[in-house]
Chains A and B, each alone.
Chain A
Amino acid sequence: MSRRSALLHLALAAAGIAAPFVFPAHTVQFAVFWVFVLFALTWDIMGGHMGYNSLGNILFFGLGMYICALVQIGLVYDIAEYTAANGAVHIDFTDAQYFHGLALGVAAAALGPVLVAAALSWIVFGLRGPYFAIGTLGVAIAAAELTNAWDYVGGGQGIAMPVFPGGPGMRERFFYAACMAAAVACYLFLRWLYGTRFRLAINAIRDDEDKAEALGLHTGRYKMVAWSISAFFLGIAGALFGNMTGFIEPLETAYPTLTFGIFMVAMTLLGGKGMLWGPVVGAAVFYTLRELTWTYLLGWQYIALGVLIIVNVVYFQQGILGWLRARRPQWFA
């Protein structure tokens, strides 16, 4: 790592740590920013580097959210009783119970989606191009509807999450730190991963999968691992987001295919796909624009985002960093 690059990383990390202290009222929104970074980074593994455009990655976010909630509650209460009581018993978690539950829940929320991704990969990776996109979207929608109809996990009523013990402002700061840590860990992991054979292999699948097969590449294996990595970090993101929100339900919070599910794609395309920093820059710009439109264009915010996506896809396919790379290749050497 060059000196300049190290300094840039340090400056960004310092800004990330300082943000909730400088603007304490916005801590939750800042935490959402890190979740957006996770969305874009994980989507880019397949969408950018492997040429497989999944519209269903939100599945793992929702799965992680629900798995974490069920572990947290199930360790202390009978889940059916808890969900039937509509959260009326949630005040009884002790500090130790809460943090043990959360730690175990996040671990399960990371591993559960990996297993689901590995199992589903035998089915969905038989599809290519637009069929893969629609197939994965179908899986995510089905998961949302199944959860919605499943009373044991609260159905459409949702679940009131255990309440964070600790004083005012502590909950926000705790989850901000956790979201930032997860996003940074994901970034560092991908930074390492893209330095290995894995990156060239998934790039080869993107450029010509038949040729990759003809060379003997274990394409199925690479695709499965790529999706499982996305699932791992998205599961953690879902677990943290659910706890931060305090109340989860299937359609709007856990499996929002039309908002977060599309944002993932939009952010990556905006920043520049297939580049480590592209999704991060995309997340930052998209997040800022989203906050601005929600504040100043309320009622028109989705139209503004739609226009942004159309302009991006039609006139600016290379994304911000792709455009910059064409202009200033020496910065990317």
Chain B
Amino acid sequence: MTPALIEVRNVRKAFGGVVANRDVSLDVERGRITGLIGPNGSGKTTLFSSIVGQHPIDSGSIRFEGREISRLDVQRIARLGLLRTFQQTRIFSKMDCVQNLLVSLPHRETAWSHMFRRYPPEVIEKAERLLEFVGLYAKRRLVAGSLSFGQQKLLEFAMALMNEPKVLLLDEPTAGINPTLVNALIERLKRSNREFGITLFVIEHNMRVIMNLASRIYCMSRGELLASGSPAEIRDDRRVIDAYLGAQ
């Protein structure tokens, strides 16, 4: 059996007295879509931030393609091909959509001279193709800050694809998006996984979305991993239902 793309083992992260993650272990399989659910404040975003190197973890291990990454900084982890999008959408608001995509090109080259190159036409074409893919082609020359929240989410998703990651961590991709756009977004997430071969690891509150999307789901509650399994198993798991509804 080949090891998982991301292996999280016994990770603990506390902020002062609050333990946000306690003894969390999970696997993100290569080429799959893995889901992460749990009530608000259960530590999902903290785990994402730990994986991408936003903050150091207290103990445990995080491996990406077999390599320990829990001591690397954000930029280096991103250059390995492990990327996250933000719950509060983050785009470059004073730059137009095409520029947002161009600057999102992978930054794996280490030569300093690379900083002073121009963008070749095929890269600009690629940026425009991706904008078309997320349905923003008509807005490509608009300043990103003028887009609606939902459009900014789509733009951030396109930026992530431009970066050619091996795995993409999406923090609530459908939150704040109108229901008609949600289906289109799910379709695009599935296509990015199927056609571009990008492994997805998705935090999602919308049960319909995550059941439809993921092949394996982890559920967290109060900083700990509560359950894992296929969407059907998770849906029928008593502990998961209790965690969401607050029953004892």
Contacts and interface: CB of A to CB of B under 8 A. Distances in A.
Interface string A212-248: 1111111101100100000000000000000000000
A217 B75 contact: yes
Contacts of B91: 207-208, 211
Given A214-B74, A216-B106, A222 B115 contact: yes
B155 to A, nearest CB: 12
Contacts of A225: 112, 115
Contacts of B20: none
Interface stretch (B24-32, B77-85, B188-196, B206-214): B77-85
Contacts of B92: 203-204, 207-208, 211-212
Nearest to B84: A214
Contacts of A193: 116
Contact of B116 (A197, A214, A218): A197
Given A206-B94, A216-B78, A218-B107, A200 B102 contact: yes
Contacts of B170: none
Contact of A213 (B74, B106, B159): B74
A92 B106 CA distance: 59
Interface residues on B, range: 20 to 34
Q: Is the interface of B mostly helix, strand, loop or mixed?
A: loop
B52 interface: yes
A204 to B, nearest CB: 5
Contact of B103 (A203, A213, A214, A221): A203
Contacts of A203: 92, 94-95, 99, 103
A332 to B, nearest CB: 13
Contacts of A222: 115
Contacts of A206: 94
B67 interface: no
A225 B107 CA distance: 17
A126 interface: no
Contacts of A204: 92, 95, 103
A201 interface: yes
Contacts of A200: 95, 99, 102-103
B93 interface: yes
Contacts of B228: none
Nearest to B99: A200
Contact of B83 (A195, A196, A208, A215): A215
A222 B107 CA distance: 12
B102 to A, nearest CB: 6
A71 B94 CA distance: 45
B103 A201 contact: yes
Contacts of A219: 75
A95 interface: no
B117 A196 contact: yes
Contacts of B83: 214-216
B193 to A, nearest CB: 20
A197 B78 contact: no
B103 A217 contact: yes
Nearest to A192: B116
A198 B95 CA distance: 14
In order of increasing CB-CB distance, the 10 nearest A-B pairs are A216-B78, A207-B92, A216-B107, A211-B90, A216-B79, A200-B103, A204-B103, A196-B116, A213-B74, A204-B92
